[in-house]
Structures are given as structure tokens and as C-alpha cells.
Amino acid sequence: MKITYHGHSCVQVSHAGKSIIIDPFLTGNPLAVTKAEDIEVQYVLLTHAHGDHIGDALTIAKRNNAMIIATHELATYMGWQGANVHGMNLGGAYEFEFGKVKMTQAFHSSAIVLEDERQIIYGGMPGGFLITMGGKTLYHLGDTGLFSDLKLIGERNDIDVAFVPIGDNFTMGPEDALQAAEWVSAKLTVPVHYNTFPPIKQDPEAFIHNLENKGLKGKVVNPGEELEI
């Protein structure tokens, strides 16, 4: 299985001829090294409706004839824009061609902000994704603050890789993310959602050092870099 980190919260997972991408924010992301037009996937997963998570979703989905997977409200909105969609909701799971997806809760907000119109469109509840694919279990926490059910999620699932936000300001900061990583107890923790903008500037290597001090394994993956698991 190949995992590619595209910066911010964007993760692409490929295995056995199938590829999915989570929260594709490439256009307008100053740290991204990959262009939206170079992404080839069959599925686009969206944790919530903020622009730095849905940014290139429609472009990628339409060009690849890919399916967008998101909460019911966000999937409905994307369907109205001409995308092929599959709506889900928190706690629900579904078997797709590439594997199983279960939506978990996240403590955040979720809306599409139309700056010119000064309009905010409700995007459904924010969430995370537990993904079982190719015999591996991946957990993308989405944008979230710390919450104690992360411990339950870790206890009930044998998680190979967890993608944990560390940026602070909009999500957990490093201290809370460290607690989240302990509770999730993945074999490998990868920090995400940091350094894209000044308010979320963090030192990911310091976060990994603190993980290792607690006996956990972590890795900083730079935009465009790949992991093989």
C-alpha cells in the first residue's frame, strides 16, 4: 500500500489498482507540490466542508469520474454541483469497491463560506474516517479538538496509521494531539494540518520526539512524500 501526503490534511492512499484521496486542498495551498490535475483516483473522501478540505474535490472528482464520499449534507451539495456522490453520517460504515469506510465524530465546525456573497452554507457535521483497505486500517481524524472517545476508537480498532492534526488554533495543538495519539495507539502516527498558514505554525519534529518519549512511533511526511506500509 502506498500513502502519499499532499500537505495540510490531504492524504492519498493507493492499493491494488485503486486510489482514494482525502480532503484534497492543493490549489491555493502554498506547501503543495502536486497539482490537482495530476491526481488520479476513483474516490474522494471529505471530512467536512471547509474550503481548505474540499478545495479541489469537484475538479478531481469530475475529471476522474470519481465518487465523492462525505456526510449526507455535503454529499448532497456536491451532487448538486454535478459530482457522483455517496452520502454517509457519523457512526455509519459502508463497503466500497476499495474497502470499508466508517465515519467517526470530530469536534469542529463545517460550512462552505461564500466570501463574495457573504453567505455561509451548512455542510453537515464534521467527521473523521476509519478506512480498512488492503488488510490495513487507517484513521484520518479530520479537523478536531481532543475528545475522550478517541480512546474507545483506539481500543476497538487495530490502527496501522493515524493522521492527527497538530496545528492548534483551528484544531488540536501538539499537546492535545499527543494525548490523542496515545489514545488512538496507532502503529504509526503522522502529523497533519500544520504550517500551511501562520496561525497553525508548529514544529512537527518536536511532536514526533514527544511521541517517541511515550513509546509511540511517528513520522514527519513532507508534501509529496510517500509511505509504504
Evaluate if pTM is beyond 0.85: yes
Shortest CA distance to 79 belongs to which of 125, 50, 44, 114? 44
User: 21 with 60: CB under 8 angstroms?
Assistant: yes
77: amino acid identity, one letter? Y
Shortest CA distance to 130 belongs to which of 13, 5, 223, 4? 13
DSSP class of 218: B
Given this model, what pLDDT does residue 166 score? 98
Burial of 112 (0-12, 13-18, 19+ CB in 10 A): middle
Which pLDDT band holds residue 228 (cuts at 50, 70, 90)? very high
What is the domain-level CATH number for residue 127? 3.60.15.10
* 198 CB-near residues (< 8 Å, 6+ apart): none
Whether 228 is covered by a domain: the verdict is no
| Cα separation, 190 vs 174, whole angstroms | 12
- Summarised one tens digit per residue, pLDDT across range 161-189 is 999 999 999 999 999 999 999 999 999 99
Over residues 120-141, mean pLDDT = 97
Whether 175 is covered by a domain: the verdict is yes
Domain that holds residue 13: 2-221
HSE (CB half, 13 Å, CA atoms) of 212?
Answer: 9
Given this model, what pLDDT does residue 193 score? 98
Cα→Cα distances 63→14, 60, 67, 166, Å: 18, 5, 11, 32
Percent of the chain clearing pLDDT 90 (strictly above): 100
Whether 43 is covered by a domain: the verdict is yes
The secondary element (H helix, E strand) that includes residue 129 is strand 127-133
| Cα separation, 161 vs 163, whole angstroms | 7
Whether 226 is covered by a domain: the verdict is no
Given this model, what pLDDT does residue 184 score? 98
Whether 191 is covered by a domain: the verdict is yes
Over residues 97-114, mean pLDDT = 97
For residue 165, the tally of other CB atoms under 10 A from its CB is: 29
- Summarised one tens digit per residue, pLDDT across range 136-160 is 999 999 999 999 999 999 999 999 9
Over residues 48-64, mean pLDDT = 98
- State the total domains in the chain: 1
Whether 135 is covered by a domain: the verdict is yes
Whether 229 is covered by a domain: the verdict is no
Given this model, what pLDDT does residue 173 score? 98
* 104 CB-near residues (< 8 Å, 6+ apart): 90, 91, 127, 128, 129, 130, 139, 141, 142, 153
Over residues 35-64, mean pLDDT = 98
Whether 227 is covered by a domain: the verdict is no
For residue 149, the tally of other CB atoms under 10 A from its CB is: 11
